[in-house]
Structure 1
């Protein structure tokens, strides 16, 4: 069953990819707000969680994050990572850059060993302040699930008709490799239409874009939690490892989760 995050600060949870992760949700706590509407989103469909387009206030995020970090440090269990995720796309927050400023200051003062990560769908890279903020975090993790616009539209349902893979790739390249590329592989059907980004055509085209972007790392993964579309299939780990080996053949480290 899909579900929302009902707190601004959530966890910590043991992340498959990041370690002991303390989550930060900049989106509404009782509704979903995202520039994608992914068929595999653990928060469910956008339409299933309507509500006020109310981002969490910068001051509340700073206060609650500080309180939680102090409590964790005092208990001797500081997080490995502070991760921006939650009920939608974190970089949509109108004061995202200032929130990152606050977070880095808190991290440096309270638990300097922790990394700051942002899980983003890369739809806000046209905003210079978002790019500046992402360039300063430890793990700038940007999604690209396919090299083909048609597949992205089926898998991710971008809410802007102007979305294009080529524009996204060009904006990713501006980070000069200071980013992590993250891709969900799955297959099955949704709404009666087949979906599969593991075909040779899909993987070869995606590899070409990864080689063009040259991120410092690639993360590939498949389904692990409930999805709003119930007719999707998890890709076996062996297949993910085979894709990862092709990424590593390009000279780019690749992890499988």
Structure 2
């Protein structure tokens, strides 16, 4: 992939991210056109630095620097070094703006990656499923075991962990009584500092928002089970 195009894939925005606000997105595992091959650390950090400098000099407002991606950002072999560099860039150009990690699910087996997570002011993880069946529907049949993901996440004990969940009915139904019991047990185990709830965007194939009464019931159970504050963030 040409360098100019790769730079566009690595740094995006700023744009509005649900639950975060106006964020500059950094994608360490952006698509390079080759499976399992990710942009080099130098390209990621240099491109991010250039954009942050441009924005700062133009007095553009920013609410977060978000490390994210459709592929787990922690899959990048230089994730820790990238994180440390982005933290320093943020301190210099946007000292009041938090560095956030946003992911659907994290692979926290690598000790360096786990250590790097502590650098982030907020760690937002999408946990939509309580059972392996729904987890596989959401993440594909090749997804690792939900049990392993949760065990790793619980071990990190991030003090500013935010769990995001998109509640839906239809082809993927994660609001059944059985699914909710399992999901609430997961929340109790990972002990989030906040839970952000959403519904599918209108027109999402095979998924629709549950009735408001059902959503209110779930929100009340989350508060009862975890004690964590809830934020409704619209659509995901």
TM bin (shorter chain): 0.7 to 0.9
Show structure 1 runs of 5+ residues with no match.
32-50, 190-194
Q: Deviations over 1:164-193 (max 9, x none)?
A: 22222222222225222222222222xxxx
Q: How does 1:185-224 map to 2 (within 5 A)?
A: 185-189=167-171, 195-224=172-201
Deviation at 1:244, TM superposition (A): 2.2
Q: Pick closer, same or farther for the CA change 1:78–1:174 going to 2, 3 Å.
A: same
Matched, 1:254 2:230: yes
TM-score of the two chains, using structure 2 as the length reference: 0.85
Q: How many residues align?
A: 225
Q: Pick closer, same or farther for the CA change 1:176–1:85 going to 2, 3 Å.
A: closer
Q: What is the alpha-carbon distance in structure 2 between the residues aligned to residue 115 and residue 241 of structure 1? A: 30
Q: Deviations over 1:67-89 (max 9, x none)?
A: 11111111212411011223422
Q: Pick closer, same or farther for the CA change 1:62–1:158 going to 2, 3 Å.
A: farther
Deviation at 1:119, TM superposition (A): 1.5
Q: What is the alpha-carbon distance in structure 2 between the residues aligned to residue 138 and residue 8 of structure 1? A: 21
* Match of residue 183 from structure 1: 165
Q: What is the alpha-carbon distance in structure 2 between the residues aligned to residue 60 and residue 236 of structure 1? A: 46
Q: What is the alpha-carbon distance in structure 2 between the residues aligned to residue 6 and residue 159 of structure 1? A: 29
* 2:24–2:62 contact (8 Å) kept in structure 1: yes
* 1:28–1:53 contact (8 Å) kept in structure 2: no
* Match of residue 134 from structure 1: 117
Show structure 2 runs of 5+ residues with no match.
1-6
Richer in helix (by share):
2
Q: How does 1:1-257 map to 2 (within 5 A)?
A: 7-29=9-31, 31=33, 51-157=34-140, 159-160=142-143, 163-178=144-159, 179-189=161-171, 195-224=172-201, 230-235=205-210, 239-250=214-225, 251-257=227-233
**Aligned-pair RMSD on alpha carbons?**
2.3
TM-score of the two chains, using structure 1 as the length reference: 0.79
* Match of residue 4 from structure 2: none
Please list every run of at least 4 consecutive aligned residues from structure 1 whose deviation after the TM superposition is greater than 3 angstroms: 28-31, 234-242
Greater relative contact order (Cα < 8 A, sep 6+): 1
